[in-house]
């Protein structure tokens, strides 16, 4: 569980990130979750775009991702979702939360 200050720190870091992943009409599939697992392990903080043709709203997608991936919700603004999970590999740890 992250604190409010840590969430604010992550939100400021997520501002500059591009949304490299998209949730579209196929929704959140097992393949998509596997891809997100790998991305979280490598980057710790990722931003995902929820397309208009998706069956999920932004907040629904964030809740589903956090439950499935055991990660922390950082923000859900407009059509963008930012999620965070500390990497289990010490070599991949890039973000030090205060």
CATH of 4-85, one of 3.30.110.60, 3.90.25.10, 1.10.3720.10, 2.60.40.10: 3.30.110.60
The reported pLDDT for the residue numbered 98 is 84
Domain definitions of the chain by residue range:
4-85
The reported pLDDT for the residue numbered 81 is 96
Q: How far apart are CA 54 and CA 96, in angstroms?
A: 33
Q: What is the pTM of this model?
A: 0.92
* Distance in angstroms between the alpha carbons of the first and the last residue of the chain: 13
Q: What is the mean pLDDT of each run of 10 residues along the chain (98 residues)?
A: 93 94 94 95 95 93 95 95 94 88
């Amino acid at each position: 569980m992250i604190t409010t200050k840590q969430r604010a720190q992550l939100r400021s870091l997520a501002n500059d990130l591009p949304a490299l992943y998209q949730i579209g009409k196929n929704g959140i599939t097992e393949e998509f979750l596997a891809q997100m697992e790998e991305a979280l392990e490598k980057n710790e903080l990722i931003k995902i775009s929820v397309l208009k043709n998706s069956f999920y709203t932004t907040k629904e997608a964030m809740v589903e991702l956090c439950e499935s991936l055991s990660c922390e919700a950082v923000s859900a603004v407009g059509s963008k979702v930012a999620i965070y999970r500390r990497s289990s590999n010490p070599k991949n740890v890039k973000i030090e939360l205060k």
